[in-house]
Structures are given as C-alpha cells and as structure tokens.
Structure 1
Amino acid sequence: MYKAQITLSVPMGKRLIAKAIAALPDVKKALREGNILLKGGTTVSAVSEELIGSSLRVSGRITLRGTVSCNKNILTYPHSILIHKGEAQNVDSCLPQVVSEMRSSDIAVCGANLIDAHRRAAMMAGSPLGGAPGQIVSTLEAEGITTYIAVGLEKFAPCSLDDAILECGRKKIDTSMGMSVGLIPIPGRLISEIEALSILAHVRVCVIGRGGIRGGEGSTTFVISGEKPEVEKILHLISTLLMVSESGVEESLNECSSGGPGCKTHLGCWYRNCLMKG
C-alpha cells in the first residue's frame, strides 16, 4: 500500500470534481447519445469546460461582502445549458419544458451551497422562487433523471439541512450582507473531492485537515492510499491543477453593487439600504 498526502485548494477541488464527473460512464454515454443538463455555477462551469470547452455564466455567489450576484445583466451568456449529442443550447428561458422532455437515460448536473452530515444538499435562492433553476432542481430525480451534485467540501456544514432550511428564508431576514436567501433541497448523487479522487483512480481517501491561510483558505488535506501507480496517477493530475483559476464566464465573476440589476428582487440587502458602504 502506497500513501500520499495532498492538499486541494477550493478551485483545484472544483476542477477535480469536474474531471471526475466528465469521466463517469453514464455521463460519457449521455454526451454521445443523449442529453446533459448543466445548471450554472462555478463548479458546474468547470464541468461544462471539461465536456465542451465552454464556460457558464455565474449568477449568485458568496464573497467577502456576503451573498451577492453578478454586477450586470449579461444574458447573452448562458447560465444553464442542455448538451444534446455534444452540441450545447442555452435553456435559461425554457428550463421546465426542457426537463419535462428529458429521458431517464439523460443526466443533470448542478452545484450546491450546503451539504450536511447526511449527504443532503441544498442551493441558495436569492431570487423569487429561486428563479427558473430553483423551480426544477428538486424535481429532476422525481422525473427519473440521474442528477449529480457537484459540490466541494468547503460547503459542508455541521448542522441538519432541515434546521438550516427552517432558519433562513428570503422574507424572514430583516437585514443581510447582500441579498437574503432561502435554501432549496437538491436530491441527487453527491460528488465531492472524496468521490472525485476515487472515480479518477483506485484509491482510498481520508480527510485529515481543513482550512488554510495565504490563499489556502477553504482547502482540504487528504491522505490517499492504494497501489503506487494509482496514487501516482492522482499526484500527476494534481500537479496540473496547481495554478487553476475560478471557472465561469469572466464578465459574470464581477459582483453586484448597490443599484445593480438584481436589486429590485433582492431582499434585505444592507448595501442597497445604505446601512453599510459596499
């Protein structure tokens, strides 16, 4: 048994998860013969880059200023796409119809903002009803569509998802750093860095540390073990990810400011209400 200790930053972890999802046999088959629905976010944008070489528009995000969104309307870039036999189509305006027409052999991939100890996941909703994505993510598995949840371990929370859902809510919060949000549960198959490492090589994975400084904030440190060639396969892959950057359409990574396009529907934001300089 050969062992190696590795540390993955958050962007490295996202890219590793994307590579693992792209390597799954049912995803490869759907890419060739069927449909893959990608609901935008930085990790899912990395999946899109691995599958078809195109980035997705990033909408909501968490930064030092809190729960914010894109700084301007750039709807020419898709947030959600349907890949049909390798060709991508912007489906932002017709998500419910697209989902209703998907088959059980098709695949959906979405991200998450929180995972709990029971491997349950949820996404934040800052727009009314969570926008179009919020209206379909909870129903994908109900339609029989295999759903992969691409989510890094930095999203793990030591609480029950039920408690978190009951505590928050767009209309419950009086004031918020950025837009107030609720949580929408996402049924599906979780793919974190742990699963990704095991998909990409025959290795056993154990988390031995979390966090860091000087750019390593949110990182996870692992011990991986297995036959030496399999461990070395992971080490070689990680060596290619050391300088990886955040995924997503570059223009959409700039966050909103007071008076931005989402202000009319975002609730509780203390920047908009001039309670704090942004």
Structure 2
Amino acid sequence: MKRALVTLTPPEGKRLIARAVAAMPEVQDALKHGFVYIATGTTAAYVAEEILGEDIEKEKWTVGVISRGRTCVTPKETWPKHLVLYRGEPFDDPLEALKRMGPRDVFIKGANAIDINWNVAVFAAAPDGGTIGKTYGWTITKGVFTITPVSLEKFVPTPVEESARLTGIHSFDWGTGLYAALVPIPHSHPVTEVEAYRILAGVEAIPIAAGGAGEAEGSVTLVLEGDEEAMERAREVTKEVKGEPYLRPYTEDCSVCPFAKICGPGSGAL
C-alpha cells in the first residue's frame, strides 16, 4: 500500500472532478446513445470543457454565483444557455430533451452545498425556482441519472434538508448579497474529489484538512491510498490539474440588477 498527501485548490479540484465526470461510464454511454444535459454553472463549465474538448469562458457560464464575497448574479446580457447534447451533437431544445430523457440519459448540475451525509443542494433565487425548479420534475420522475459535480470546498456540517427550511427569497431582513432558497437534490449522485480519484486512478482519497491562505483559500487536503500502479496513476492525474487558475470575479452591477429587490446591498438593506 502506497500513500500520498495532496492539497488541491478549488479550481484544481473542479478540474479533477470534471475529468472524472466526463470519464464516467454513464456519461460515455449517454454521449453515444442518448442525451447529456449540462445545466449552467461554473463547476459544470469545467465538465462541459472536458466533454467538448474546448475552452469556455467559465465566469460567464452561470447566472447565480458567489463572488466578491456575496451571493450574486452575473450580468443579464451574458446569461448562458444550458448545453444539451444528443448522441454527442448539440441539441437546441432543452425542454424537448427533458421530455425525452430517461434512465439511460444524464443530467449534470453543480451545487452550493454537500453535507455530512453526502447530500447536495443548490441555491435558487428566481421565483420559478430557476434551473432546478424547471428541470427537477422531469429528471426525478423519469429516473434520469443525475450527477452533481461538487468540490469539498462546499462541504457544510448542517444537513441540507435542515438548511433548506431556513432559506427562501423572502425569508431575510438583510444580508450581504442576493437572497436565495437552498434546494436539495435528493436523487443526485455527487462527485467530489474523493469520487474523482476513485474514478480516474482507482485510489481511495480521505479528506483530512481544509482551507489555506495566499491563493490556497478553500483548498482541501487529502490522503491518497492505493497499490503502486494505482498511486502512479493518481500522481499523474494530480500533476495534470495542479496550477489550474482561479476564475476572475464576475458579478452584476446592483444599480441595474433584476434581482435588486431581493438582495441586501441591492435593496439598501445593508
């Protein structure tokens, strides 16, 4: 048994996770035979890059975002469309895709929280529930294989079903950013750095520490364990993702934001 100590920054972890998601047999099968629906989000943008083999301006591949120290949104004129592929080719009607998808198809949606039970949840600020509100019914009732790529930087000790009861766009008197509801995704298969190392290298990854300073904020430190061959694969995988750059801040101007009325700074409550 070989062992290693590895620290990954949030972007390094996201790149690792994205490569693992793209390599999953369920994803590869759906790319050949069915639908792969990638809902927008910064972590999902890494997955889209790995599947498409091309760069994406990831800061603009989301609507809701936590950036500049607050919950916020990106400028409306940059709001992207979801990426839907059918048999590996672009499919231009997301709603039609949702109507046709089934257990052999794949839906990919990032998250804002993963709890001690490995359950995940995502923020929603639009009154109609945003992406998760518009897609959840289709995916859960038809058994669509749902994957949530989520870095352990988003680990929270509070079970998400408890957190969800505390939130809502009209639940707060003031705050540092956009008010939102936390929505659990109970049928999702989370992929963190732990699962990513298992998928890509066949090693066990045990999170033992978190955080840092000087461009290591949000990092996760893990112990890797495996046989010599697997650990050599893990070494190469780790070397490939090290140095992944941070995303730049990208948020809307409060004076023109369509969500200003449900936002602390935007409404003047803070």
TM over 0.5: yes
> Structure 1: which 4+ aligned runs deviate by more than 4 Å?
none
* Residue 144 of structure 2 corresponds to residue 145 of structure 1: yes
Q: 2:255 aligns with which of 252, 256, 259?
A: 259
Greater helix share, structure number: 2
1:164 maps to 163
Deviation at residue 15 of structure 1 after TM alignment? 0.7
Q: Which amino acid aligns with 1:158?
A: P
Distance (whole Å) between structure 1 residues aligned to residue 189 and residue 260 of structure 2:
30
Deviation at residue 232 of structure 1 after TM alignment? 1.6
Question: Alpha carbons of 1:21 and 1:33: their partners in 2 closer, same or farther (altered >3 Å)?
Answer: same
2:122 maps to 123
1:1-278 residue pairs with structure 2 within 5 A? 1-54=1-54, 55=56, 57-75=61-79, 77-78=80-81, 80-91=82-93, 94-95=94-95, 97-137=96-136, 139-186=138-185, 187-246=187-246, 254-260=250-256, 263-274=257-268
Distance (whole Å) between structure 1 residues aligned to residue 98 and residue 240 of structure 2:
36
Asked if 2 retains the 8 angstrom alpha-carbon contact of 1:174 and 1:268, the reply is no
Deviation at residue 30 of structure 1 after TM alignment? 0.9
CA RMSD of aligned residues (A): 1.9
Q: Number of matched residues?
A: 265
Q: Which amino acid aligns with 1:59?
A: V
Q: Which amino acid aligns with 1:273?
A: S
Deviation at residue 275 of structure 1 after TM alignment? 5.1
Unmatched 5+ stretches in structure 2: none
Distance (whole Å) between structure 1 residues aligned to residue 161 and residue 268 of structure 2:
33
Partner of 1:15, secondary structure, is helix
Q: Deviations over 1:163-221 (max 9, x none)?
A: 21111110111122221000111121111110111111121221111111101111111
Deviation at residue 142 of structure 1 after TM alignment? 2.4
Unmatched 5+ stretches in structure 1: none
Distance (whole Å) between structure 1 residues aligned to residue 114 and residue 260 of structure 2:
24
Distance (whole Å) between structure 2 residues aligned to residue 138 and residue 266 of structure 1:
28
Question: Alpha carbons of 1:209 and 1:65: their partners in 2 closer, same or farther (altered >3 Å)?
Answer: closer
Identity of aligned residues (%): 30
